[in-house]
């Protein structure tokens, strides 16, 4: 069996960083990354981007050396992706914040409102309902992160945690401040409005969870396979007939429900910003599906049935 030689060059300076001889032909990129870390311990595998061309796409961890268009001496280019942090860590941190912060405002902890309001309770039932819904939402997200989601990538750049936490924690504090304020004004159409909003919220939360479970079942544990999602026996998944990312559709729906329930402008703004971001993600996902699968259902739109 012929062994390969692998030389790793810096993608920007073309400097020779590492030379590996006697590499197995069936070695994966993941194994090569591990070998590279031995000579440069500060660049752990999650930080490495190896590619065949300095300006090309990153090679995947599962790619096998023998199957790549290289001679027996392969030249790979290395790019440092910067400090990395695991997706699970980021999700847990960014979701635990809003859960905790909202409760601080709900219980009117000192220094948030005037001293005469410390530890008082709102006299509006909708405020208590809103706290239950908001808390439920984030507890659900935390549990899904721990037990449901199967992530394609292990890590993301470290700076993302600061950006993401500022967004989630900032908006949570802003919303919570007004909803739990002593001068809060309940919805104009009273109990009717709250009941309708609660129905929307609950349906969308169930829908969102159903989609997460359906996506999880598409992918066996520990794998990174991608398949076209289809509706299952669960009626909430029938939205897959019309939309590529119904989880995002249901998520926006939940927040619209919450906005109607609380009649609070900051909540509506949060929903709008979230919708914008999720639309960008949905369009990207939709495009990848179309590129990867020839037989992708043509009726589907990225996030809003028939429209967007």
Partner 1 sequence: MVRFYMEKGTHRGLYKSIQKTLKFFQTFALLEIVHCLIGIVPTSVLVTGVQVSSRIFMVWLVTHSIKPIQNEESVVLFLVSWTVTEITRYSFYTFSLLNHLPYFIKWARYNFFIILYPVGVAGELLTIYAALPYVKKTGMFSIRLPNKYNVSFDYYYFLLITMASYIPLFPQLYFHMLRQRRKVLHGEAVVEKDE
Q: Which residues bind partner 1 (CB under 8 A)?
A: 178-179, 181, 183-185, 188, 262-266
Alpha helix locations (H) across 67-189? 87-106, 125-147, 159-179
Q: Within its chain, how far is the Cα of 137 from the centroid?
A: 15
d(CA 167, CA 183): 25
Question: Which CB sits closer to partner 1, 42 or 192?
Answer: 192
Q: In the bound complex, what is the minimum distance in angstroms from residue 267's beta carbon to partner 1?
A: 8
Whether the Cβ atoms of residue 263 and residue 179 lie closer than 8 Å to each other:
no
Q: In the bound complex, what is the minimum distance in angstroms from residue 160's beta carbon to partner 1?
A: 20
Question: Which CB sits closer to partner 1, 139 or 280?
Answer: 280
Question: Which CB sits closer to partner 1, 20 or 176?
Answer: 176
Whether the Cβ atoms of residue 57 and residue 35 lie closer than 8 Å to each other:
no
Q: In the bound complex, what is the minimum distance in angstroms from residue 294's beta carbon to partner 1?
A: 33
d(CA 91, CA 83): 17
Q: In the bound complex, what is the minimum distance in angstroms from residue 273's beta carbon to partner 1?
A: 15
Question: Which CB sits closer to partner 1, 134 or 300?
Answer: 134
d(CA 263, CA 197): 10
Question: Which CB sits closer to partner 1, 44 or 117?
Answer: 117
Q: In the bound complex, what is the minimum distance in angstroms from residue 174's beta carbon to partner 1?
A: 9
Whether the Cβ atoms of residue 251 and residue 229 lie closer than 8 Å to each other:
no
**23: number of Cβ within 10 Å:** 17
């Amino acid at each position: 069996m012929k062994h390969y030689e692998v030389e790793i060059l810096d993608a920007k300076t073309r400097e020779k960083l590492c030379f590996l001889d006697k590499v197995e032909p069936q070695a994966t990129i993941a194994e090569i990354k591990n070998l590279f870390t031995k000579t440069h311990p500060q660049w752990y595998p999650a930080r490495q981007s190896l590619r065949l061309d300095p300006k090309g796409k990153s090679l995947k961890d599962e790619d096998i050396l023998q199957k790549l268009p290289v001679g027996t001496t392969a030249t790979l280019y290395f790019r440092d992706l910067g400090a990395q942090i695991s997706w699970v860590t980021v999700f847990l941190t960014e979701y635990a914040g809003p859960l905790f912060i909202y409760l601080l405002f709900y219980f009117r902890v000192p220094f948030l409102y005037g001293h005469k309001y410390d530890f008082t309770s709102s006299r509006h039932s909708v405020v208590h309902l809103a706290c239950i819904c908001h808390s439920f939402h984030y507890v659900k997200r935390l549990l899904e992160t721990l037990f449901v989601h199967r992530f394609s990538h292990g890590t993301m750049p470290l700076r993302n945690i600061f950006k993401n936490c500022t967004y989630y924690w900032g908006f949570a504090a802003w919303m919570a401040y007004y909803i739990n304020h002593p001068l809060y004004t309940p919805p104009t159409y009273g109990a009717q409005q709250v009941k309708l909003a609660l129905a929307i919220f609950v349906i969308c939360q169930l829908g969102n969870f159903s989609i997460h479970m359906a996506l999880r079942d598409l992918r066996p544990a520990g794998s990174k396979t991608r398949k076209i999602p289809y509706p299952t026996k669960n009626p909430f998944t029938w939205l897959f007939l019309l939309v590529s990312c119904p989880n995002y559709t249901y998520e926006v729906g939940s927040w619209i429900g919450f906005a109607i329930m609380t009649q609070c402008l900051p909540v509506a703004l949060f929903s709008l910003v979230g919708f914008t971001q999720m639309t960008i993600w949905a369009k990207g996902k939709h495009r990848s599906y179309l590129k990867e699968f020839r037989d992708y259902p043509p009726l589907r739109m990225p996030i809003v049935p028939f429209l967007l």
